[in-house]
């Protein structure tokens, strides 16, 4: 199948340019960006006038099934939110809940221009199934909470996930190891996770230095920050995606740069839970690769990468009193090429180049808030809205066209979500179920 996107405004990240160009797609690959070769005969033509074509956005950290808990536990402290609200309900969730919660989030992400995401949750096979049905690109991690008492079972679960899903759906789905956090995994278990990654050759997805309490407890227990402690245990000898990294000590920046740990900045979630503002400018200055994530809908409460781009830029400027911090191109890179790197897919996605996978979105520029069209890269960070996304292409396949979903039945999803939440949240919470269900 040959697809031509004709004469659109095209954004390429690698050279930071915006210009009117055409894009040719053959099957799942980008064939050209620029003038249309004389011998290119398209089977399908998308008229690009009035549209911006840009790389698909990458949500580098989320918990898809937590859409079930959107607007459920708001305006309370982080640890109370986690242990008294979220974990007790999650302990009552089964395969159906995780599947349909994932479907709801995937629909939301596609509609807002996300073409790839990194997910950590339990019953993660259900999230993989939902991703496969939708056609989105996904990196799936089974969240691991472990100690010497249950390590064999937990590690076996990840092995099975790799066997069944790694590189599945023609490479659309990949697998990471998902040790939840230093405060939910003991040292012996974390060493075994590192060894498992050696064996399976898979990356790591972990939460790090999200709250003041986490860092203080690590210093008290180990005399080391969470970043230092994970380095000591060998976690960073693998490609690592580290979510949050809000509360960092000077030595942490050096480690993150040296090991090229992929930090995922989750500005909305960090703000809403009162965990603070990640030091984005310092991370970038230290040479640390930084991407963007939404976290789960229960702590955000949406999966809108345009909002995260806007917040990341504004928070960097406001927190440093420096208006040049986190300029538009830097933030766009975080949401695209750096996100691809976080998922260990930088050779395949994240930009619009010949030979890369055809993951891209079309933005409808005919909106009042996008006029005048003086600086489109700034428009995407400071003015654009998720609802401006018109068409989504993933792996060369049109997943959404003119806002019409091609692979998902939204009415069915809404029906199932209503049924599940009525049952799930109607149950009394067992106050003893305050441990992570992962």
Per the annotation, binding residues for substrate are 90, 180, 210, 295
Residue 62's closest CA among 308, 253, 257, 238?
A: 308
What pLDDT digit, counting tens, does each position of 374-422 carry? 999 999 999 999 999 999 999 999 999 999 999 999 999 999 999 999 9
What integer pLDDT is reported at residue 426 of this predicted model?
A: 78
Mean pLDDT, to the nearest integer, of 130-138? 99
Distances 229 to 73, 77, 296 between C-alpha atoms, Å: 31, 26, 26
* Annotated binding-site ranges for Zn(2+): 61, 63, 207, 295
Q: Tens of pLDDT along 148-179?
A: 667 888 899 999 999 999 999 999 999 999 99
- pLDDT above 90: residue 425: no
pLDDT of residue 150: 72
Rg (alpha carbons) of the chain, rounded to whole number: 21
Closest CA to 36 of 46, 363, 28: 46
Residues 6+ apart with CB under 8 A from 215: 209, 225, 226, 247, 249
Q: What is the dihedral of CA 265, 270, 271, 276, to 10 degrees?
A: -90
Which tens digit of pLDDT belongs to each residue from 217-266? 999 999 999 999 999 999 999 999 999 999 999 999 999 999 999 999 99
The whole-number average pLDDT for the span 65-92 is: 92
For 2-55+355-405, CATH number? 2.30.40.10
CB neighbour list of residue 171: distance below 8 Å, 6 or more residues apart: 348
The full set of domain ranges for the chain reads 2-55+355-405, 60-342
- Is residue 100 within 8 Å of residue 66, measured between CB atoms? no
Which of helix, strand or coil describes residue 88?
Answer: helix
Q: Which residues are annotated as a binding site?
A: 61, 63, 90, 180, 207, 210, 295
Q: What is the per-residue pLDDT across 86-127, written as a single tens digit (0 to 9) for each?
A: 989 999 999 999 999 999 999 999 999 999 999 999 999 999
- Tell me the pLDDT band of 429, cut-offs 50, 70 and 90: low
Helix (H) or strand (E) holding 191: helix 187-200
Residue 6 in this model has a pLDDT that exceeds 70: yes
pLDDT computed for residue 146 by the predictor: 78
Which residues lie below 8 Å from residue 178, measured CB to CB, with a gap of 6+?
120, 124, 141, 142, 143, 144, 158, 204, 205, 206, 438
60-342 has which CATH code? Answer: 3.20.20.140
Residue 76 has a CB neighbour count (10 Å cut-off) of 13
Please report the pLDDT score of residue 153 as a whole number. 85
């Amino acid at each position: 199948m040959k697809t031509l996107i004709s004469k659109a405004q095209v954004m390429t990240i690698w050279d930071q340019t915006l210009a009117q160009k055409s894009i040719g797609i053959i099957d799942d690959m980008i064939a050209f960006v620029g003038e249309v070769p004389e011998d290119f005969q398209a089977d399908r033509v998308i008229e690009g006038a009035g549209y911006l074509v840009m790389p698909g956005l990458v949500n580098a950290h989320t918990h898809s099934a937590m859409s079930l808990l959107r607007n459920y536990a708001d305006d309370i402290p982080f640890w109370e939110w986690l242990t008294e609200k979220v974990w007790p309900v999650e302990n009552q969730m089964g395969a159906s809940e995780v599947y349909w919660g994932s479907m709801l989030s995937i629909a939301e992400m596609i509609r807002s221009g996300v073409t790839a995401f990194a997910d950590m949750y339990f019953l993660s096979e259900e999230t993989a199934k939902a991703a496969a049905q939708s056609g989105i690109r996904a990196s799936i991690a089974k969240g691991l909470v472990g100690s010497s008492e249950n390590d064999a079972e937990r590690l076996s679960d990840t092995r099975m996930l790799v066997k069944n899903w790694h590189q599945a759906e023609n490479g659309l789905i990949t697998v990471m190891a998902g040790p939840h956090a230093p405060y939910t995994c003991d040292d012996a278990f974390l060493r075994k996770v590192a060894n498992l990654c050696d064996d399976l050759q898979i990356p790591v997805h972990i939460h790090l230095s999200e709250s003041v309490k986490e860092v203080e407890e690590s210093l008290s227990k180990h005399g080391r920050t969470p970043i230092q402690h994970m380095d000591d245990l060998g976690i960073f000898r693998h490609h690592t995606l580290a979510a949050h990294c809000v509360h960092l000590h000077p030595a942490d920046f050096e480690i993150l740069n040296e090991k090229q740990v992929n930090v995922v900045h989750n500005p909305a979630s960090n703000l809403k839970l009162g965990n603070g503002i990640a030091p984005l400018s310092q991370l970038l200055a230290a040479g640390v690769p930084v991407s963007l994530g939404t976290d789960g809908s229960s702590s955000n409460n949406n999966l809108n990468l345009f909002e995260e781009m806007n917040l990341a830029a504004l928070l960097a400027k406001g927190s440093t009193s420096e208006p040049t911090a986190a300029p538009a191109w830097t933030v766009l890179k975080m949401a695209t090429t750096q996100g691809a790197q976080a998922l260990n897919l930088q050779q395949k996605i994240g930009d619009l180049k010949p030979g890369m996978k055809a993951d891209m979105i079309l933005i409808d520029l005919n909106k009042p808030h996008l006029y005048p069209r003086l600086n489109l890269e700034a428009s995407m960070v400071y003015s654009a809205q998720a609802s401006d996304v018109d068409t989504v292409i993933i792996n060369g396949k049109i997943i959404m066209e003119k806002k019409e979903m091609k692979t998902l039945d939204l009415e069915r999803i809404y029906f199932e979500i209503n049924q599940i939440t009525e049952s799930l949240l109607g149950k009394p919470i067992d106050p003893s179920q305050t441990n992570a269900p992962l």
